[in-house]
Amino acid sequence: MEAFFSVFAEYAARHGLENALKMFNRIPADELEEYRSEYQARVNSVQIGYPPKILSAPGHKAWYPGPLDQDRYWPPFSDYLKAERGWPKDRVELLDEASSKIVAFTKDPSQESFLTKALVVGHVQSGKTTNFTAVIAKSADVAYRLVIVLSGIHNGLRQQTQERLQEQLLGLREDAWFPLTSSEKDFQNQTVKATAYLQQHSGGTVLCVVKKNQAVLKKLYAWLKPASDAGVFTNIPVLIVDDEADQASVATKTINPQILKLLKLFQRCTYLGYTATPFANVLIDPAADDLYPETFILNLPRPDGYFGTERIFGRDAVEGEASGTDLDGNDMVRIVPDDTVDLLRPGSRKAAEHFTPSITAELRDAVRYFWLATAARRCRGDRDHSTMLVHTSMKTSVHESYREPLETLRDVTLAALDAQDDELLKVLQEQWEGESRKVPAAQFGNRYIPFAELAPQLRDVIGGTRIVLDNYRSRERLDYSASEPITAIAVGGNTLSRGLTLEGLIVSFFVRSATTYDTLLQMGRWFGFRPGYEDLPRIWMTDQLRSWFRHLATVEHEIRLDIERYEEQDLSPREVGVRIRTHPVLNVTRKMGASRTAYASYGGRRVQTRYFRECDSKWLSDNAEAAQDLVEHALASGAVKEDRGDGEILLRDVDVQLVLEFLERYHVHEDSADLDPRLVASYILKENNRDQRSLLTWNVAIMGRPLDVAESTVELGPLRVGVINRSKLRGTGGVKADIKTLMSKEHRVADLRISAAEARAQSESALVELRERDSELRERGLLLLYPIDKASKPDAANERTRVPLEANDHVMGLALVFPGNAADKVANRYVEVNTSNEAVDPSEYEDQQAALTADDDL
């Protein structure tokens, strides 16, 4: 039966289950029913296998049964991963499950006409290319006969993608693939017409890997248009894979229209966007004739062993996480002082023409550490590629200016080694031992390499280091195809900041500025896998950039949580509103446009202050006075006072107008965009005015300590309360003291009549539900005031990461708890966050625009 079932299943996968039942109707009815049941069981297995849920269009069902033994394209690729790449069986199985899920939720290609528009969200440098390679192979197995891969806007990424597909697909079944492009040449005008070419190669799959370049896409469209007019694509399913789908594809006047024109050529078409930064994609207008992923959105889980934003920079705790969660990341970031940045990059466009960089102490240390870490890898038996990235500017002239100083540093260091310079060896040893203590090798199961063991490797490492300038104008490129591993310091800009994999990247020296989330994240080439040297990566950057990347780690985490939550609720892409946390300086994405808004809901959320201007006496006193007046006026207006006997006092039935007046006066730190009083007030007023009016009444909780144990006290109207202790994180202070966590989970229900111990025993979602079930509180807000001791010292357990607050005056912290749940976000109860006024440096995108429109034959 199994042999014949394979024939049945192959036909059903290509032509649809109903057509297969008709084709094999001569088989006895009971056997045919057995085939149908087995086929449907395999489809169901794919549907529920990986990941648990998917955001798909209403009524959209999986159709693909997974790969079959007799398939032409997937089995060779699967075997290649195991035999040539050394992938363990379980890792191949995960890729198999993920790619099958993606294929299964595209539109069934047996339909006479269809258009899939979908988005796959991965992580930067996490294996997205391997995933879509698997999807391409499986699509070819179900009779897709034309595959177009849109691969970035630069030649380097297009060439890298072409070479990978040639090795991993074309090279394994040369009789089944027919490439229109090569590693040397992008798509060019063909001598054979598309109709004849597709008919000539109808027994296999045609593959085309092209840049997202206006001239190239116009040539491709012009070649395919006559075939479309002739009806050739009536029976040919077409797959378009858009790599880096947020770049150039969305809201551009050149590439976006070209992609939409391509889609209209085909009667049966699947468009799959792949990106790690989906900000622009989820903000496309779903009602427009555009690339909004209306068929499905799939969130790929973070792979094991992956180094992402959170693992390096840490992140803030988000809704639902217990306070005190350790989210600080690994100690891999080294700070470049602001006053040295002008020595590393020009301060203006005009200055770039004659700029000469300095080898600052930080850049020198970064290069030296690169050599030390490369030598340590060799001592561990790892002699693969080793790379350092220097990314200070997008200007090609600046890249050129780095060659001579870096080559001089290399040559001088090499000469000192040859001379057995004791001072240099001592400095190198101290640096190596200091870095090794900060990120212990044993933490990752790696062997610590003593300096005496790696020192003999240094001469070959330093002497073999190439300085490579890689930008869109240079003919020099990072080339990892040679038989011998390379050791290189790569200096570049945008060609190194999108999609391109820097093999063996250990050190990044990064002081390039950016203004949007997606641009900044994509520049982070240090993300990815570091097998056997997980303890060695280091990044040199400014403190501001470090804080921005930590913010982005939080943003990424929240977006993925939103998608997962919507998956569990079986919502469709058109029903969701993925929240994107805002930032006071960074734009979410440049592609939001002047009229585009992002939305954030406060329904069901708790928000809190964590940053304070500890040395600004007026700022602190203004907040204290605002809190005093709120309490005094609330009591005068009839608020019911409850003294809980533990230093906490509750005021019930406070009018919303007093809360709004307080928010108008209270200063929130500019880096706390999520608690911008203007946005909060706007949300409250919307809730006051909607049909089922809410937030008209509030409870106010004063979260102090008992007077008999408090170090000091404050007065809030007629009330006296003890101050609480909140020390600040080491390295913060002045205009931005960071206490990290103000409120505890149980404070969410401080106005419910349950004990703190009972509240702590429940999950965050359970506490949200408690508020929702309370007939009084489900429409009432909770405002919490935290009088913080200006001296606040850290506990003994936290002295490594925290220092005393030492503010000019006592600090008044603020938290807000809003009623509601996840369904509120679906009902469009959002607050507008208009980022259209944020400044964007137009020069940042000059070379990108040149790449999009250049008439380039490569």
Domain boundaries, the chain: 50-154+236-301, 309-419+455-551, 603-833
Q: What is the pLDDT of residue 679?
A: 78
* Tally of CA atoms within 13 A in the half-sphere of 561 that contains its CB: 15
Q: What is the DSSP letter of 149?
A: E
3-state helix, strand, coil in the chain (%, to 5): 40, 15, 40
- pLDDT tens digits, 615-655: 999 999 999 999 999 999 999 999 999 988 788 999 999 99
434-464 pLDDT per residue, tens: 999 999 999 999 999 999 999 999 999 999 9
Confidence at residue 118, expressed as pLDDT on a 0 to 100 scale: 94
DSSP reduced 3-state for 138: helix
- The mean per-residue pLDDT over the stretch 770-784 comes to 89
Class of domain 309-419+455-551: alpha beta
How would residue 539 be classed by pLDDT, with cut points 50, 70 and 90? very high
CB 202 within 8 A of CB 145: yes
Q: pLDDT tens digits for 360-377?
A: 999 999 999 999 999 999
Phi, psi of 411 (to 5 degrees): -70, -40
Contacts of residue 498, defined as CB under 8 A and 6 or more positions apart, other chains included, come to 152, 153, 154, 157, 244, 247, 522
Other Cβ atoms closer than 10 A to 760: 12
CB atoms near residue 72 (< 10 Å): 16
* This prediction's pTM: 0.67
CA distance 418 to 412: 10
CATH topology for 50-154+236-301 is: Rossmann fold (3.40.50)
Topology alike, domains 50-154+236-301 and 309-419+455-551: yes
Neighbouring C-alpha atoms within 13 Å toward the C-beta of 398: 25
pLDDT of 829: 31
CA gap 811, 788 in Å, rounded: 5
| Residue 144 reports pLDDT greater than 90 | yes
Of the candidates 349, 157, 150, 154, the one whose C-alpha atom is nearest the C-alpha of residue 848 is 154
Alpha carbon distance 642, 719 (integer Å): 12
| Cβ atoms of 255 and 249 closer than 8 Å | yes
CA separation for the pair 457, 654 (Å, rounded): 71
Q: Which residue has the higher pLDDT, 355 or 630?
A: 630
CB atoms near residue 9 (< 10 Å): 22
Identify the bridge partners of residue 528 per DSSP, sorted by sequence position: 307
What confidence score (pLDDT) does residue 828 get? 30
Which residue type, as a one-letter code, is found at position 142? V
Looking at residue 840, its pLDDT comes to: 30
